[in-house]
Structure 1
Amino acid sequence: MSCSKFKIIAGLGNPGKGYAQTRHNIGFLVVEALASKSHLTIDKTRFESHYVKGRIKDQDVFIIKPLTYMNLSGFSIHRFASYYKVGIEDIIIVHDDMDLAFGKIKIVKSRGHGGHNGVRSILEVFGKKDCIRIRVGVGHPGSGKDVTGHVLGGFSPDEIKILDHCIDTASDACLYVLENGVTSAMNLFNTKS
């Protein structure tokens, strides 16, 4: 049961220009698109995050981009949530996912980290796994291939062709969760090809 005054939507990624257009930073790209759709600009800094506060779908929402690097994402999100008294059930995490084909969106709630170090950090710091996650597929390089190089690598020409659509869909998923709840969002977005 939601009891927080605020919602947090956190996109995961790594700060710095060198990481900006990489698969691991797709969470940043999605929340930037979400802010833009909501006529907001992520231009403030607090608790080791870039953020903006706005009213979206009749709710007070913080959109944040942790600046702690991916593997420590939980610390800045937890500081934000603690200060504003936001429970983990009112947090939406947007992140890259190698277990999904590039561009595929899947919404989950109260699930384990699935090997994602940013999500692992969040679940460990909060001590719970009740957040909502928008998983954005970045594909897997294949058995025996360099997964670190894959997620930290730039988008391929084929990926670039569908990147804008992927980001648009994932940011729409965030809006849909805010307006209609996670169950309805899962029913809609998880069945799309």
Structure 2
Amino acid sequence: MTEALRWRLIAGLGNPGKAYENNRHNVGFMVVDALAARHGMRFTKMMNHGLVALGEIAGARVALVKPQTFMNDSGTCVGPVAKFYKVAPADLLVVYDELDLPFGQLRMRPFGGAGGHNGMRSIIPRVGGEGFPRIRVGIGRPPGRQAPRDYVLDDFAKDEVPTLDEMFGKIDAGVLRWIGEGLDKAMNLINPKPAGKPARPDAATSTEA
């Protein structure tokens, strides 16, 4: 497929409806909303049970999708939309919440399993396997004894909004890098850098006998 005809698809996962729009579980929706706002795209198209925004990012044709199927059935939307736009696995990017990453941390990977996330579990068999990029957005673990199921359906706190905005900006920069320079460069930008190893003592200056 020529570059002029090539589509990228970015799917943000969440649950539809006002009651869920600020939930931690809906951070995938929030990410694609932020991308749409930054790049002048609007969710005006309903397709395969998903809200779709079409436009260009970094000169490439991009479709943003928010499945309206509820989280656990996300694949029934993402799979057909990817097929319609003839999106190759490498050109599909899925963004979703991750309990096992601290709030504010991002992790981009080229492939992988569902990791216990029901939305991803629904998508993987409907797009031909695990070989597509994804960004996990850290929401952290619930405090105390709160059940994870209840925690993900809580709204983000007001004092968390600035960190969310920072994450959305970093994801936007990563998407630009993904489209323009490739996945490896995008991962280098988004993923946290490993802590540096302590410097080894110089044998020439050692004071040991």
- Would you call these one fold, judging by a TM-score over 0.5? yes
Asked if 2 retains the 8 angstrom alpha-carbon contact of 1:88 and 1:130, the reply is: yes
**Matches of 1:33 and 1:192, distance apart in 2:** 25
CA contact (8 A) 1:107 1:132 kept: yes
Q: Where do residues 1-193 of structure 1 align in structure 2 (5 Å cutoff)?
A: 5-141=6-142, 145-191=146-192
Per the alignment, do residues 168 and 149 of structure 1 end up closer, same or farther by CA in structure 2, a change over 3 Å counting? same
SS at the partner of 2:65?
strand
Q: Give the drift of 1:175.
A: 2.3
After superposition, the C-alpha distances for 1:71-118 in whole angstroms (9 at most, x for unaligned) are 111111111111221122210001111111111111011111111111
In structure 1, C-alpha distance between the alignment counterparts of 2:116 and 2:70, rounded to whole Å: 16
The answer (yes or no) to whether the contact 2:11–2:78 under 8 Å persists in 1 is: yes
Q: 1:115-169 CA deviation, whole Å, 9 max, x = no partner?
A: 1111111112223111110111000115853001111111124423422222222
Instruction: Write the distance in 1 (CA, Å) between the matches of 2:169 and 2:118.
Output: 24
Aligned length: 192
Q: What is the TM-score of this pair, normalised by structure 2? A: 0.85
Alignment deviations for residues 43-67 of structure 1 (CA, whole Å, 9 cap, x no partner): 2211111111112112111011111
RMSD, aligned α-carbons:
2.0
Unaligned runs of 5+ in 1: none
Of stretches 95-104 and 138-147 in structure 1, the one that deviates more from structure 2 is 138-147
Distance 1:172 1:14 in 2: 25
Q: TM-score under structure 1 normalisation?
A: 0.92
Distance in 2 between residues matched to 1:171 and 1:143, nearest whole Å: 33
Please give the per-residue CA displacement for 1:19-59, whole angstroms capped at 9, x wherever unaligned. 00010110111111111111111222111111111121121
Contact 2:102/2:139, CA 8 A, preserved across alignment: yes
Distance 1:47 1:121 in 2: 15
- On the 8 A contact 1:14/1:25 being kept in 2, the answer is yes
174-183 or 157-166: bigger deviation: 157-166
Distance 2:141 2:9 in 1: 29
Given that 1:98 and 1:137 are in contact with CA atoms closer than 8 Å, whether structure 2 keeps it comes out as yes
Identity across the alignment (%): 39
For 2:74, what is the secondary structure of its paired residue?
helix
Higher relative contact order (CA 8 A, sep 6+): 1
Change in 2 beyond 3 A, CA 1:143/1:131: farther
